[in-house]
Chain A
Amino acid sequence: MTAETLIWLIPLPPALAFFLIVLFTKRSKTLSHTVAVGAALLSWLGSMIVFVHALRVEHLGEHPFESSINWLPTGDTWLKVGVLVDPLTAVTLFFVAWTVLMIFIYSVGYHNYGQPEGMHDHKGLPPHGATVELHGHQHTVPSVEPLYSRFFAFIGLFSFGMFILVLSDNLLTLFVGWEIMGLCSYLLIGFWYAKNSARDAAVKAFMTTRVGDVFMLLGIVYLYSVTGTLSFREIFTEDILQTLAKVPSGFFGFSAAGLIGLLLFIGTVGKSAQFPLHVWLPDAMEGPTPVSAMIHAATMVSAGVYAVIRMFPLISLDPLTMSIVAFIGAFTALFAATIAVAQNDIKRVLAYSTISQLGFMIAALGIGAYVAAVFHLITHAFFKALLFLGSGSVIHGMEHGVLHTGNHEVDPQDMFNMGGLRKKMPITFWTFLIGGFALAGFPIVTAGFWSKDEILADAFGHGHWWVFGTLAIGAFLTAFYTMRQITLTFLGQARTKEAEHAQETPWTMTLPLVILSVFAIGYGWVGIPEHFPLLGGLVPNWLHEFVGGTLVEHPEAVAFNWIPLLTSLAVALGGLFLGWLTYRNVQTAAEDKLQFPLFKNKYYFDELYDFLFIKPAYWFAETFVHKWMDKGLIDGILHVFDPITNGIGSSIRKYFDLPVINRFFGDGSADVTYWFGGKLRAIQTGRIQQYLMYALVAFIAIGAVLYYFLLA
């Protein structure tokens, strides 16, 4: 089997898993998760094989693995769809395959496989415990999720969408994968559909990303109408790029390339939750934690950044678009980081952190730091997935405590109810620490340091002072809130009884944490810049060479400078230290001095959007369309017709139907027949001799007639 055939097959196992689970194995939990994890394993295997093959090719960027088929006939030509594995795809495939597999394995433990079913568990609500008899005592233990199989079916479909997106060689199938993931995010955020908050969050996520998707589709259509192709290899050729750069779009002075880039970027703004379409991601924490890890750390939001990276040669043609991209990225990075500082829910902190880190990547792209953005994308996927899965493990541990004490008022996700968990959940603690340090950018031993440092170095080295400054402050806040989170959750003493009774989670949940932490530490070392003091030059900067080869013009590594390195070290270590210092003795939320209402309420953006968009939309639907148009206008017209038709009908009935048809024809013919019958009756006397006489007369008459007509 060639590498190209294998590439086509990679998205297949999760799709098959989806159909098999939905159609056949829904009843059996074991069968469903076996099918799902098996499928993830197969795709992982395929991806690893393709990745290894890709590593061996010299200049993969110039001869990528590609294979396409004619799909849509368009007059004389065909729209081709297919697969493409160039260096960017290869590294993305690597982290997608690993994180997807880890999340699938994690989900088995997260949904309490092997536990008894709870007596009061409803489909559509999170499971809340089953009582078992254990040497004479009633114990409440975690119960298995009632909709277990459905979850695996959905994440199977989700992975299918992501693989399609990563492997596609044209914008159309990329968009197909994009939309499949949008659908799955709706299904999975609203997984516990009986909870109103989850339902609302799912709708919000879908609607908000949809806004972005509309613009993206416009961009795709515009691109097709100008160039006649959607295939990446065909678009990124010199002549087409130059044409797009020169043709004005007639819109605020953008060139065609700029406008297309901007429209495609708006799709990413929706999908990757950048400002102003960031509002859906924190609410999306209503979904189960594997969903949050998958969708909002490792795969879906990364897909948005991936799309921008993929279209980089196009976007980079127009400086105005690049500035917008850089601005939104940097702004979002700082904006989200300020909100994260004031959040108390362990998952919300991570959600805003994701938004902020995606802002880093987008800003890196906006200033042209291609390799740095890819680097940060990959490392972020690993450590953010690690952090989300770790938070899920923490929540599980806390829920154990809640079930033990029986006090269901306590929110297992509130960090101020935690504390001291490093003793109760050691594996979770150490892996979460590694993930958190990677996020904060702890030097040398974490992957996050290398990627974040490269972004800062690129910003500084090319003279983008504002971006540099904003990102540096963002990095400081990142380290600060991360250490706040770790301190409140794991360090110190347990603040509630529930935290005292927390337990470490089973191996299906801790194994992925350990594996991901290996990547969170080690992945950074493939991208050590050449002129880094002491360590640079020991290993070549493989990532820069490999990923840089994707672009036609191999980007140059930025020259080494001490200032961004020192800034990076200062903000990371300083933020971590300050976070620990501030929060090591804080016991309740009231003592937290940084709970500014502006941050805590996310700058009131939800309220603003509600006022500007949601309420008018509701008014339009309920009042304008329903009450005025539908009931008033259309029903009004119908009500005018009503008496007219009624009148016509009843007069026809009264003046024609009844007298003529019924009485004259109907009753009349009956009366006539009756009268005739009465008269004719007299013939039948019952006397035989009269009958014989009639027969004789008839015989004579007929005989005479026949004689005269036939014989004479």
Chain B
Amino acid sequence: MVPLSWYLILAAALFSIGLFGALSRRNAVAILLGIELMLNAVNINLAAFWRYGNVMDMAGQVFAIIVFAVAAAEVAVGLALVISVYRKRNTVIADEIDLMKW
């Protein structure tokens, strides 16, 4: 088996890329992509720790499944919100949705 740290570094890298995307992309859907990436990175972390820890304990797997489910649900809701905003304001660029400024 490869050392645990390889998986963790991978997950960290993916997480950072996802974070960067969420913070810098213009399109709202692209921000959602970044968020998805962050969630998947976390999943890799969870699976790695499970595999390299107590394999008999189902908790790691279960947690990963739940994260998947939550990510899916969240993306569904997020996309629905983006569509709704597009229909109202005719834009998907996050910077232009700033009605909540002072």
Contact = CB atoms under 8 A, between A and B. Distances in A.
Interface of A: 681-682, 684-689, 692-693, 696
B31 A689 contact: yes
Nearest to A691: B100
A688 to B, nearest CB: 6
A512 to B, nearest CB: 102
B24 interface: yes
Q: Which of B31, B97, B100 has the most CB of A within 10 A?
A: B100
Contacts of A687: 94-95, 97-98, 101
Interface string B78-102: 0000000000000000110111111
A684 B97 contact: no
B101 A688 contact: no
Q: Which 3 A-B pairs have the closest CB atoms?
A: A686-B101, A686-B98, A686-B100
Contacts of A688: 31, 94, 97
Nearest to B95: A687
A405 to B, nearest CB: 101
Given A692-B22, A696-B19, A684 B94 contact: no
Nearest to A692: B23
A684 B22 contact: no
A684 B98 CA distance: 10
A696 B97 CA distance: 21
Given A686-B97, A689-B22, A689-B95, 18 more contacts: A681-B102, A682-B102, A684-B100, A684-B101, A684-B102, A685-B98, A685-B101, A686-B100, A686-B102, A687-B94, A687-B95, A688-B97, A689-B24, A689-B31, A689-B94, A693-B23, A696-B19, A696-B23
A695 to B, nearest CB: 10
Interface string B14-42: 00000100111000000100000000000
Contacts of B95: 687, 689
A685 B31 CA distance: 18
Contacts of B31: 688-689
Contacts of B99: 686
Per DSSP, are chain A's interface residues mostly helix, strand or loop, or mixed? helix
25 contacts: A681-B102, A682-B102, A684-B100, A684-B101, A685-B98, A685-B101, A686-B97, A686-B98, A686-B99, A686-B100, A686-B101, A687-B94, A687-B95, A687-B97, A687-B101, A688-B31, A688-B94, A688-B97, A689-B22, A689-B23, A689-B31, A689-B94, A689-B95, A693-B23, A696-B23
Contacts of A681: 102
A682 B101 CA distance: 9
B42 to A, nearest CB: 15
A684 B31 CA distance: 20
A673 to B, nearest CB: 16
A686 B98 CA distance: 4
A256 B84 CA distance: 117
Contacts of B23: 689, 692-693, 696
B101 to A, nearest CB: 3
Interface residues of B, number: 13
Nearest to B19: A696
Nearest to B96: A687
A687 B102 CA distance: 11
A682 B98 CA distance: 13
A681 B102 CA distance: 6
A686 to B, nearest CB: 3
Nearest to A683: B102
Nearest to A677: B102
A47 to B, nearest CB: 100
A689 B21 CA distance: 10
B54 to A, nearest CB: 25
A111 B24 CA distance: 111
Nearest to B99: A686
Nearest to B31: A689
A681 B100 CA distance: 12
Q: Which of A685, A688, A692 has the most CB of B within 10 A?
A: A688
Nearest to A688: B94
A688 B95 CA distance: 7
A687 B101 CA distance: 8
B59 to A, nearest CB: 25
Nearest to A684: B102
B32 to A, nearest CB: 12
A301 to B, nearest CB: 99
Q: Which of B23, B99, B100, B102 has the most CB of A within 10 A?
A: B102
Contacts of B102: 681-682, 684, 686
B91 to A, nearest CB: 13
A693 B100 CA distance: 17
Contacts of A693: 23
A222 B29 CA distance: 114
B102 to A, nearest CB: 4
A236 B31 CA distance: 121
A583 to B, nearest CB: 116
A684 B101 CA distance: 5
Contacts of A685: 98, 101
B16 to A, nearest CB: 11
B21 to A, nearest CB: 11
A685 B101 CA distance: 4
Nearest to B98: A686
Nearest to B25: A689
Contacts of B100: 684, 686
A689 to B, nearest CB: 6
A180 to B, nearest CB: 86
Contacts of A686: 97-102
Nearest to A678: B102
Contacts of A682: 102
Interface in B46-102: 94-95, 97-102
A689 B25 CA distance: 9
A85 B98 CA distance: 109
A383 to B, nearest CB: 109
A281 B101 CA distance: 99
A355 to B, nearest CB: 103
